[in-house]
Structure 1
Amino acid sequence: MAAPLQAAVHGLGRVAALEHPQRWGGTVDLPVTLDGRTAERLAAVLADPEGEDQLAVRPGAVFGRRLAAVRPEAPRDWQPDGTVLITGGTGALGARTARRLAGAGARRLLLLSRSGPDAPGAAELAADLRALGAEPVITACDTADRDALAAVLAQLPEDAPLTGVIHAAGVLDDGVLDGLTPERFATVFRAKVTSALLLDELTRAHEPEVFALFSSASAAVGNPGQGTYAAANAVLDALAERRRAEGLAATSVAYGAWDGEGMAGGERAAALARRTGVRPLDPDLAVLALRQVVTGIDPVAVVADVDPDRFARAFTSVRPSRLLAEMPSHAALAAPDGGRDARQSGPALRERLTRLPEGRRAATVLTLVRERAAEVLGHPGTDQVGPDRAFRDLGFDSLGAVELRNQLNAATGLTLSATLVFDHPTPAALAGHILQQLLPSGSGGTSHAATTGDEERAVRAALAGLPLDRLRAGGLLDRLLELAGQTPDAPGAHQDTTAVDDDAYGVSIDAMEIDDLVQAALNAHPDEERD
């Protein structure tokens, strides 16, 4: 790309597409000079993009962007010699890279970071590198400061010329688009982009054989809540493309999450990665991939360990995109049923709710909301997501709200707002809103007044969220059984198996679904339809 900074718009757009899937249209890359033929092609694309949302329009053709899995044949490994400069060299990724390059034969490693030798773990890192036979030089340098970086490069010894540059420095400042500010962009761009541009400018005279930029998969496919980071890394990808076009060494490595510490560390980030089919990269394999892709022909390479089915499903369920059209499972997901379980599609869910007795609809939608909320929060089950617990108290923030909205939109077929957890502050309230959207008052054969129906749904939802042990401990279980036409004092009613009259149900209470028990108590007859 002739103007790498403009690529930030594309990176930001990929995040906008996931945070606002119903509002975002796409991005179009145009040549510097817009001639008549290109303008005609642009008009045609705007009139009918044919499902494409990332296009480059040129006088001779229109190109759509694709992410495809590749298996390079007989890759050649980079054998580092001379001096290899690593920015962010004492950070998690930089230090891991340094150790593995030392193990691969690198002998002089120039590690730059703002704190230099005073950084936590720097002394231990230096000792490890020496034990591997390398000569580490850990220097304090703000690589976004042109004079400071130039001074460091001026001190390179003649007998160990600069042969490799690895830009691993970076800063995260996650947040949804609605909460971003110019200042937040500036912080991320200074560490990622300003440093990369200065490295590009100041190392050209050294002609390094490797010029590697640590980018992110968020720049390639987007990631909710990472607008600043995706935009900055998209600039790095474009910078690598420009250098290659000029005949210079450059590779932008768009990594998925690394295993262990790093900017993508943390339980929530790891849980999100797993849900989207991105498995943590083994650091050894990540650096081996780096050593291979820098010798290849592609200026940008996405290096990630993904489950293709889950990965494609996670992104296409939020917003269909031709970006993943060449992924192995895209064809199945693009089929009329979307490759989904029938219960997870909007029309099927609406039909299922219509067929259910009215008393079970609220509980069914509440279960859906609680399950999706638990997934977003990384909980293994719904126990911690009580029906009446406020989403704020559960730990939801703006990013969590976007993730939940995306999952519920995919499951219900609705167009819910990203502020849904603030507009409907509890799972029960949100479930009521979703049910009303799926089955407005008067539809689905309902004959109750709206107010009465709302009250009944609220009571059922609250009871459905209570563990059976709490009903028993509170003395409510006997009353529920009486309402259901059972006799709590009947022989065997309070045995350890907590058995109910076999003629009535033929199963133990503990084996019953809680909503079935509540339904039996409130309606005084067992459900005729079970899921």
Structure 2
Amino acid sequence: MLASWRRQQRERSTLDDWRYRSVWQPYTGTPVSFLPGAWWVVADERHAADGETAVAELTRRGAEARLVVLPERLADRAAVAEHLTAATRTADGDTAPADGVLSLLALADGAVDDTQPVPPFLARSLALIQALGDLDVSAPLWCVTRGAAGTTRGGTVDRPEQSLLWGLGRVVALEHPERWGGLVDVPATLDDHGWDLLCAALAGLDGEDQLAVDGATVLVRRLVRAPAGAPAADAPDHPGTTLVTGGTGALGAEVARWLAARGAEHLLLVSRRGADAPGATELVRELTEAGTRVTVAACDVADRAALAKLLDDVPADAPLTGVVHAAGVLDDGVLDGLTADRIATVLRPKVLGALHLHELTVDRELRTFVLFSAMAGQLGAAGQGSYAAANAYLDALAEQRHRQGLPATSVAWGPWAAGGMAATDPAVEERRRRTGVARLDTAPALAALERCVARREPATLVAAIDWARYVPGFVAVRPSPLLGGVAEAQRAVAERADDSGASPESLAALLAGQTDAERRKTLLELVRGQAAAVLGHASMDAVEPDRAFRELGFDSLTAVELRNRLAAATGVRLPATVVFDYPTAAGLAEYVRAAIVDGGVVGVAPVFGELDRLEAALTGSAPDRSARIRITERLRALLASLNEDDAPAGGGGDTVAEKLQDATPDEVFDFIDRELGVS
């Protein structure tokens, strides 16, 4: 008895450590609806009226908004880039400035269906993301959705396909943090206060990048722990037929064994190859010997007609009572190389399969409806844009079914020790090891599944995450308030901040006092250190200065990570291809040196200290709305003067930026005192 109790306690402790869920919490700050700067509002041509409304509302709140309407025929990045260039050209032939880009493309109608596994809004959103990068537009992109599952309290979730963009957006935040704003879900209609809240979200709320406008407040997304608690008194039983898609794969087979051990009457194991799948014969024999009736069928679950026929053929003496959807494929790659066709490859089995199972069984008396999702959909994963989108949809579909009173359990799994789609990919395995995500042992993973099903939890993240190792890569370039609800993650964030103590400003100040030779040494050490961190090495000694990055193990994904880390450390915008254009640590360090020194970052290093003082003064006070508006206008005026490209009308004068470039620290401080009234 004591041994059994101890075993149960160990299992409970393990599950407590693995289980998380997403929640929506009211933003506790004070939203300010004033939205400064120039904004491009991008809308679908069939919903141009939404764009016109947005332009008017943003303009009312201080923005200089310009509408860009994308014709329906435009779906690829080159065409979108060309259209953006033409639509934002000013009368004098220049490109209109952009301090932010607001995409309303997801508000267009567009459901997942057999002929279109990738909704048009998702394909065009991807094209917009890529086109903005191709045009070197650094303004943050914000994407608005409507009715994405699980984002509004008490609302009807009727568009789970909107969550596809949420999954993709979480990956953009990791791969292109320097030009990502975030995601905002809105209700069916926005009143005047709703527009105030949306503009406040766009203006930036303490780094929040996953938000929802919900009635009278703004909600922010948080990941929190979801303790397992005691096992449910009534464990689910499995009479009749339980359908398992991906049933002959590594995870599907483990689920089949688990179901058989719990007395499943009849298992219908479905895969594309059916009985011809490797190991299928042995699996059937094993399950049959356990006393379970087994049928193996070949069926493409993305083919609605084929799946409907399969369900119609379920024996009458064992009606369908349960579904486990574990089918899926991978097609990983960075966003810059992603296409709608590649997304479709991943969405077909996972998303279409889940949708068809939902629609074809909605009138059947199911006891269980389980979707095998993945943590990429909840947290994002660099290099897995398609996979993150697909899994975010599964979680949303489960939320929708749950609110409709239907059985639904979506489990966003971390990697299993038993295998899975990515188990044989060395790059994925190395990335898993480096980020501190351990494989889940089969027995406790199945125990976690049982508790999720028994408690009718619609969406749960189950993953073994070492936050001390996971956090540094996740927040290397931009903070993530999402992790604010996990104490271990918050400690890791705080420790990282204490350990690094570095910033672009401190680096610039350091370089300002060094000789040219010392600068080269400092920046080479920076590049080698960041490269070592990306590859998971403890020391920069593993990164030889003149050895090619590819020989060291860099691929397109790790190249993006290195570029993002260096951009965050230096404050310099670096091209997406910089790691391949300068393929050694020595070459890349020299490029970074030129960008920093020749670009003037070092020359204005003392300015940053004064800006820090200004920031402290502003954050240490609590001005009323009128004062905030006046302060914002003054800051905008200073920003505009710094961004002047032309000399004064009289000719021959320097721009403010040029004057600052050549000014002494005392002259710079005098300028700030004069322009801002700060002393």
TM-score range, shorter chain: 0.7 to 0.9
The aligned counterpart of 2:199 is 43
Residue type matched to 2:292 in 1? A
- 1:283 pairs, out of 430, 433, 442, with 442
Determine helix, strand or coil for the equivalent of 1:301: strand
Q: Quick one: structure 1 residues 442 and 15, their matched pair in 2 at CA, closer, same or farther if it must change by over 3 Å?
A: closer
- 2:301 pairs, out of 133, 137, 143, with 143
Q: Quick one: structure 1 residues 102 and 340, their matched pair in 2 at CA, closer, same or farther if it must change by over 3 Å?
A: farther
Determine helix, strand or coil for the equivalent of 1:294: helix
**More deviation in 130-139 or 198-207?**
130-139
The aligned counterpart of 1:304 is 463
Segments of 5+ residues of structure 1 without an aligned counterpart are 446-531
Q: Quick one: structure 1 residues 379 and 8, their matched pair in 2 at CA, closer, same or farther if it must change by over 3 Å?
A: same
The aligned counterpart of 1:243 is 401
CA drift at 1:327: 1.3
The aligned counterpart of 1:116 is 274
Taking the aligned partners of 2:434 and 2:590, their CA distance within structure 1 comes to 26
Does residue 322 of structure 2 align to residue 164 of structure 1? Answer: yes
Taking the aligned partners of 1:429 and 1:309, their CA distance within structure 2 comes to 32
CA drift at 1:203: 1.2
- 2:499 pairs, out of 328, 336, 341, with 341
Preserved contact between residue 271 and residue 298 of structure 2 (Cα < 8 Å): yes
CA drift at 1:316: 2.1
Determine helix, strand or coil for the equivalent of 1:25: strand
Taking the aligned partners of 1:441 and 1:150, their CA distance within structure 2 comes to 63
- 2:255 pairs, out of 97, 104, 116, with 97
* 1:430-453 Cα distance to aligned partner (Å, 9 max, x none): 1222344455599989xxxxxxxx
Taking the aligned partners of 1:51 and 1:168, their CA distance within structure 2 comes to 35
CA drift at 1:120: 1.4
The aligned counterpart of 2:560 is 402
CA drift at 1:288: 1.7
> Aligned pairs, how many?
444
Preserved contact between residue 240 and residue 264 of structure 2 (Cα < 8 Å): yes
- 2:171 pairs, out of 15, 21, 26, with 15
Preserved contact between residue 112 and residue 138 of structure 1 (Cα < 8 Å): yes
Preserved contact between residue 113 and residue 140 of structure 1 (Cα < 8 Å): yes
Q: Quick one: structure 1 residues 415 and 131, their matched pair in 2 at CA, closer, same or farther if it must change by over 3 Å?
A: farther
Does residue 558 of structure 2 align to residue 418 of structure 1? Answer: no
The aligned counterpart of 1:292 is 451
* 1:231-261 Cα distance to aligned partner (Å, 9 max, x none): 1111111111110111001111111122252
**More deviation in 111-120 or 153-162?**
153-162
Preserved contact between residue 167 and residue 388 of structure 2 (Cα < 8 Å): yes
**More deviation in 399-408 or 235-244?**
399-408
Q: Quick one: structure 1 residues 360 and 123, their matched pair in 2 at CA, closer, same or farther if it must change by over 3 Å?
A: farther
- 2:432 pairs, out of 269, 273, 277, with 273
What TM-score does the superposition give when structure 2 sets the normalisation length?
0.60
- 2:310 pairs, out of 134, 152, 158, with 152
CA drift at 1:352: 6.0
Determine helix, strand or coil for the equivalent of 2:267: strand
Preserved contact between residue 472 and residue 493 of structure 2 (Cα < 8 Å): no
**More deviation in 49-58 or 259-268?**
259-268
Taking the aligned partners of 1:287 and 1:127, their CA distance within structure 2 comes to 21
- 1:225 pairs, out of 374, 383, 387, with 383
- 2:524 pairs, out of 348, 354, 366, with 366
Preserved contact between residue 369 and residue 431 of structure 1 (Cα < 8 Å): yes
* 1:156-180 Cα distance to aligned partner (Å, 9 max, x none): 2233222221111111111111111
Q: Quick one: structure 1 residues 415 and 330, their matched pair in 2 at CA, closer, same or farther if it must change by over 3 Å?
A: farther
Residue type matched to 2:180 in 1? W
Segments of 5+ residues of structure 2 without an aligned counterpart are 1-156, 604-679
Preserved contact between residue 342 and residue 348 of structure 1 (Cα < 8 Å): no
Preserved contact between residue 377 and residue 400 of structure 1 (Cα < 8 Å): yes
Structure whose CA Rg is larger: 1
* 1:462-501 Cα distance to aligned partner (Å, 9 max, x none): xxxxxxxxxxxxxxxxxxxxxxxxxxxxxxxxxxxxxxxx
CA drift at 1:417: 3.5
Does residue 546 of structure 2 align to residue 388 of structure 1? Answer: yes
Preserved contact between residue 165 and residue 389 of structure 2 (Cα < 8 Å): yes
CA drift at 1:271: 2.3
The aligned counterpart of 2:208 is 52
Q: Quick one: structure 1 residues 402 and 108, their matched pair in 2 at CA, closer, same or farther if it must change by over 3 Å?
A: same
The aligned counterpart of 1:197 is 355
Taking the aligned partners of 1:359 and 1:410, their CA distance within structure 2 comes to 23
The aligned counterpart of 1:314 is 473
The aligned counterpart of 1:516 is none
Taking the aligned partners of 1:183 and 1:289, their CA distance within structure 2 comes to 35
Preserved contact between residue 85 and residue 162 of structure 1 (Cα < 8 Å): yes
Does residue 346 of structure 2 align to residue 188 of structure 1? Answer: yes
Aligned-residue Cα RMSD (Å) equals 2.8
- 1:33 pairs, out of 185, 189, 194, with 189
* 1:73-123 Cα distance to aligned partner (Å, 9 max, x none): 213243433322111111222122222332343342211001000011211
Taking the aligned partners of 1:323 and 1:333, their CA distance within structure 2 comes to 14
The aligned counterpart of 1:494 is none
Does residue 344 of structure 2 align to residue 215 of structure 1? Answer: no
CA drift at 1:128: 2.5
Taking the aligned partners of 1:375 and 1:97, their CA distance within structure 2 comes to 37
Taking the aligned partners of 1:128 and 1:413, their CA distance within structure 2 comes to 59
Taking the aligned partners of 2:281 and 2:536, their CA distance within structure 1 comes to 36
The correspondence of residues 429-508 of structure 1 with structure 2, limited to 5 A, is: 429-437=587-595
